[in-house]
Amino acid sequence: MILAADFGGTTIKLGLVQNGCVSVRSQLDACADKEMSERLEAVACEWESLLKKNGFTLQDCTGVALSLPFLTDQKRSRVLGEFGKFPGATKIDFAAWSHARLGLRAELENDLRMALLGEWTTGAAHGKSDVLMLALGTGIGCAVISGGQLLRGAHNWAATIFGHSTIDYEGVSGRCGNFGCAEDLASTATLATLAQARPEFAGSKLARVEKINYATIFALASEGDDCSQVLLEQSLKVWATVVQNAVLAYDPEMVVLGGGVLRSRDIILPAIEKHLRQHMPGLPLQIQIVAASLGDDAALIGGEWLFKQSHENQSQ
């Protein structure tokens, strides 16, 4: 049995995972402004509580799998940058922490890579050898399975920051320092700023809502709100362009889309499929575009698979 945790910006999802199944689940408030060391201790305590409540002990566990919202160095068991979340994360040797605190070996990986591994082993992409996954929401995450292997690259960030690709070369410099960045043009993190910059905003229903997010955008666009419709159209174009560019770069047989905005999959999937049919240069659409199927379990299940693969390889 593996102790798995998926650190998100709002919640930390936890689970006891065995044979590709999450048998017990829990979650904590992320409190992402607090020190990573503090949140790790909270996670360890919650794991111990889950084990006790379900008649297990740490001795029943094989290891720990951590899905983290960072660029990671899996071999050194460290993260490469904090990006404004969980301060102090770059100072931590996560494998050493796990051994000292729990007496267990640990594996860590970028959160979307873990989610892709879950979808690939037991979810929407099961049986495929070349898969691209994009998460649309607070940002735009990306991960790739190529030839049956998780794509990592020379510096261990292959595909991971694809959402920071420039798609408007005349655009302004954004939060990451890049210009015309896809994330800056279509993500929850920038949506309020994008809305307020629109000339239609002052007279729109959006100007009167407490929080501007994609659930609001989709709802008000369906009611005919001009500002919401413009923002929705822009977002769909940005997401479709990102998918197209990633397809051209990685040549997958399937694209899996996840993230919070996929609650509106009935609008998003057809829009992206239409874009690819119309704009792929000289290539017929032969790529499945599907929604992720495992929800919050994906990264937890992927973590178990990664732990097993890593430690089976080490023991050979």
What domains can you pick out in the chain, each with its CATH number? 2-109 (3.30.420.40), 124-293 (3.30.420.40)
Q: Residues 44, 48, 51, 52: what is their CA dihedral angle, to the nearest 10 degrees?
A: -170
Six token digits for residue 236: 């769909």
Helix or strand run (H / E) with residue 61? none
pTM (two decimals)? 0.94
Cα dist from 26 to 21, 50, 176, 313, whole Å: 14, 8, 33, 30
Nearest to 257 by CA among 242, 274, 278, 275: 242
Reported as half-sphere exposure (CB side, CA atoms, 13 A), residue 46 has a value of: 21
Cα dist from 149 to 116, 143, 163, 250, 292, whole Å: 11, 11, 21, 13, 19
Handedness of CA 92, 96, 100, 103 (dihedral sign): positive
Handedness of CA 81, 132, 214, 183 (dihedral sign): positive
Each residue's pLDDT, cut to its tens digit, for the chain (316 residues) gives 999 999 998 899 999 999 999 999 999 999 999 999 999 999 999 999 999 999 999 999 999 999 999 999 988 999 998 778 899 999 999 999 999 999 999 999 999 999 999 999 999 999 999 999 999 988 899 999 999 999 999 988 999 999 999 998 888 887 777 888 999 999 998 999 999 999 999 999 999 999 999 999 999 999 999 999 999 999 999 999 999 999 999 999 999 999 989 999 999 999 999 999 999 887 667 799 999 999 999 999 999 999 999 987 554 4
Residue 68: strand pairing partners: 110
Alpha helices in 29-93 (DSSP H): 36-53
CB 173 within 8 A of CB 183: no
184 burial via Cβ count (<10 Å: 0-12, 13-18, 19+): buried
Residue 7: strand pairing partners: 12
Q: Residues 21, 158, 277, 124: what is their CA dihedral angle, to the nearest 10 degrees?
A: 0
Give the phi and the psi of residue 31 in degrees, each rounded to 5. 50, 50
Q: What is the structure's pLDDT at 19? A: 95
Beta strand 105-110 with 63-68: parallel, antiparallel or unpaired?
A: parallel
Q: What is the structure's pLDDT at 316? A: 44
Residue 131: strand pairing partners: 145, 254
